Structure 1
C-alpha cells in the first residue's frame, strides 16, 4: 500500500482519488471548494465523436473515456446508491442546411467502425428533430448519434466523493499544507494551477451557462442532448428545465459572477432555439476551465513524487473518469489503455 496526497477535488482529482483508494492505497484529498469550479457549472455532454478536432491524442483520450463511462457509472452507482444524472438518450447535432448535414453525417459516421459504442448514426429531417425534441425549433436538420449521453457534474462529484470515502479515503476541505503531504503529491488544481508556478503553464477561460424553464412545457420524456449551431449545446435537466451554453472568454480573473452581456447572449439563444415557448430564468452558472498547451490535457510527473493532472478544459467531464483510472494504473505500475507519455509533454 502506497500513500498519495491529492490537491484539488474536482472530477479529475476525485476520480483519481477514487481509483487509487479502491486499489487499496492510503489517499488524502485537499479541496478548498473554490467558487467557480468548472465541475459545478458544466452540463456534461458525453458525445466526443461529433467533434471536428483533429488532434489524435485528444480524440483517443475522449473516445476511450466515452467507452468507459457506462461501466464506470454502473460501478459507482452500485457502490454508493447515488444518482449521477448519467443517461444516454442520444445526441442531435444541428446544421444550417441539408448539404452541410450530409457532409457532417459522412464525417461522423466514418468514426463508427472504431467506436461501436456510438451506436446508430443517422441523418434526421427537420420534422424528425421536432418529434424527438418537441419544444425545439424545427428550422434545422440534424445527425443523430445513439450513444450520446449526459451527466450532471455536481452529482457525479458527490458520488465520486462518497465512493472514495467508502474505500477509506480522507477528504479535507481546506487549503493544502505541503508540510503535511504524504507519499506522492498529485496536483489536480484546475484553473488554480497557476498558484503552483510550475510547468505546465495554466491559463483559463470563463464559461457561462444559462439554466431556464419552459413555462408551457409538457414534455414527460427525456430528450437527446443538442449540439446546436456554433459551439453551443442544449441539455435537458428534467422538469422542463434546460441548460444552454457555453460562452468562452479568456481571462485572468477568478470571478464567478455572471455577466449581463453573456446572460443576454444566452437568453437570446434560448429564444432562438425554443421560439414557441415562454421562457423563465432559473440561474446563470460560471465555470473556470483550465487549459494547457495545444488544448491537450497534461498528465505526468513534473518531478520525483510530484504528478500533475491539468488542462482538461471543456473535456473535463467526458475525460476525467477515465483519466482517474489511467493515472491510478500508471502510478500502480499497471498497464494502461492510453500511453500516458502522449500527455506528459514537458
Structure 2
C-alpha cells in the first residue's frame, strides 16, 4: 500500500516538494494530495531575480541556503525542462554609483566565486556597457555583471511543477483545511488520514497550527509589483536583469514585458488590495532608469503576502511534538531562490527517512516555534 502524504500550501515550497516527491527515486510509492485555496500566495504574485551571491546579509546559514538554492534551480530547470518564459539564466547586473562601492562589490564577487562557481563570469561594466546589455535603459549606471544570475516567473514555475507532478502521483484540491486539537487534518468533506503532512502556508502558519498548541514567530508582509509594456527588442528575452542601488528590481522578460518590484509593506498584513501609492513608487523607480515609462505602460499589478521571522531567516523541519508533520516558513523575499531547495530537502526526508542535519542552512526550529 502506498504511503499517503499531504501538502498544505501550493506556493514555491509546496509545489517544489510535490515535484520532488514525484520525481526522486522512490516517489512512485507515495500518493500525494496538495491542498491550496489559492488566496494571497506570495509565489503567484512573484517574479524575481536569482542572484544571491553578492548579498551582504551577515547570516551565513541563509547565504549557504540561498547559494545552494540557486544551484538547485539550475538543475531543476534542466530536469523539468523549464521554458525560458519560466526560468532563464540571463545574467544579473548590480549597479553602484560610487566608484569605491563598485570596486568593493567587484572584490566581493571575486571572493564569493571561489566557493560558488555557479556565479559564472564576473565583469565590471561602464554605464555605456550596461545600456548595451539592456537597451531599455535611458539612464544606465555602472555595475557588476554576473553571468550565472537568472530571472524567474514564480506563478509559471509553480504551475509547471504541479502539472508535472500531477502526471505521476499528485492530486490537487482547491480547499482550505484545518487541524483539530489531536492533530487530525480536517477538510470540507471531513477528517483525512495521511502518513505525513508538509505544512507550507507561509504567513498563515500561526493560524493553522494554533489548535496544536504551537505558536510561531512569523508575520505577514505585503508585496506588490507591476508589469509594463515596453519596446520589444529582438534581444529582450536574453537581457540581463538589473538590481539597481536603492531602487526596485528591473526585470526584462521576452515579448515586450518588463516587471518592476517588489515593495515591502509591513503594515498591511494580509490585505491584498492594490495600493496606488505602491504602484506609483514602483513606476517612479522604473522611470529612474527608463524615463519614457508612464502609467499607460502598466498592464498588470500583482499583490502577494510573504512570511517573515524576527531575524529574517527561513526555517523548516519536523515538528517535535508531531513527528509526522514537517513545516517550512519565513522565506521572505528570497522564497523563489530558497524554496525549491527546501522543498527538495523535505521531500527527500519523507522518501528516505532518517533525521538529516540541516544546521548549515538554518537555526534551530525552537527559535521560531514554541
Please confirm whether the aligned pair reaches a TM-score higher than 0.5, indicating the same fold: yes
Q: CA RMSD in A?
A: 2.1
Check 1:252–1:306 CA distance in 2 against 1; reply closer, same or farther (3 A cut): farther
2:221 is equivalent to residue 220 of structure 1: no
The aligned residue for residue 273 of structure 1 is: 289
8 Å CA contact retained: 2:130, 2:140: no
Deviation at 1:323, TM superposition (A): 1.1
In 2, the alpha carbon distance for the partners of 1:337 and 1:136 equals 46
User: Partner residue of 1:163?
Assistant: 164
Does the residue aligned with 2:124 lie in a helix, a strand or coil? strand
2:91–2:148 Cα contact (<8 Å) kept: yes
Q: Which residue number in structure 2 is paired with residue 329 of structure 1?
A: 348
Equivalent-residue separation in structure 1 for 2:269 and 2:358 (angstroms): 34
Report the CA distance shift for 1:77/1:31 in structure 2 as closer, same or farther (over 3 A): same
Cα 1:267/1:106, change in 2 over 3 Å: same
2:75 alignment partner, SS class: helix
1:345 aligns to what? 365
**Structure 1 position 208, deviation (Å):** 1.0
Q: Is the 8 A contact 2:221 2:270 kept in 1?
A: no
TM-score (norm 2): 0.86
SS for the counterpart of 1:322 is helix
Other-structure match for 2:299:
282
**How far is the alpha carbon of 1:218 from its aligned partner?**
4.4
Matched, 1:67 2:71: yes
Alpha-carbon distance between aligned partners in 1 of 2:305 and 2:330, rounded to the nearest angstrom? 11
Q: 1:14 to 1:277 in 2, by over 3 A?
A: closer
Distance 1:229 1:289 in 2: 22
Q: How far apart in 1 are the matches of 2:142 and 2:316?
A: 39
User: Structure 1, unaligned stretches of length 5 or more?
Assistant: none
Is 2:277 aligned against 1:261? yes
Q: 1:85 to 1:336 in 2, by over 3 A?
A: farther
Of 241, 251, 268, the match for 1:235 = 251
1: CA distance, partners of 2:132 / 2:84: 28
1:88 corresponding residue in structure 2: 89
Q: Which moved more, 1:333-342 or 1:204-213?
A: 333-342
Task: Quote the residue 1:313 is aligned against.
Answer: 332
Equivalents in 2 of 1:219, 1:291: separation in Å? Answer: 38
Q: Which runs of 5+ in 2 are unaligned?
A: 179-184, 186-190
Summarize the Cα distance change of 1:275–1:75 in structure 2 as closer, same or farther, 3 Å threshold. same
Cross-structure match for 1:210: 226
Secondary structure (helix, strand or coil) at the match of 2:334 reads: helix
Distance in 2 (alpha carbons) for counterparts of 1:263 and 1:294? 28
Looking at structure 2, the residues matched to 167 and 74 of structure 1 have their Cα atoms a distance apart, in angstroms, of: 18
Moved more, 109-118 or 248-257: 248-257
For residues 234 and 291 of structure 1, the distance between their equivalents in structure 2, rounded to whole angstroms, comes to 23
- TM-score in terms of structure 1 length: 0.92
When structure 1 is superposed on structure 2, of 83-92 and 50-59 the one drifting more is 83-92
Structure 1 residue matching 2:172: 3-state secondary structure: strand
Question: Distance between the aligned counterparts of 1:74 and 1:107, measured in 2?
Answer: 29
Asked if the contact 2:314/2:328 (under 8 Å) is kept, the reply is yes
Deviations 1:240-290 (A, max 9, x none): 221111211113532211111111111111111102456611122111100
User: 1:244: which partner in 2?
Assistant: 260
Name which of 199, 207, 211 aligns with 1:187.
Answer: 199
In structure 1, the partner of 2:308 is 291
| 1:91-123 per-position Cα deviation (integer Å, ceiling 9, x unaligned) | 000112222111111112210010001011111
Q: Whole-Å Cα distance in 2 between the matches of residues 121 and 106 of structure 1?
A: 10
Question: Corresponding residue for 1:124?
Answer: 125
Deviation at 1:83, TM superposition (A): 6.1
- Corresponding position of 1:52: 56
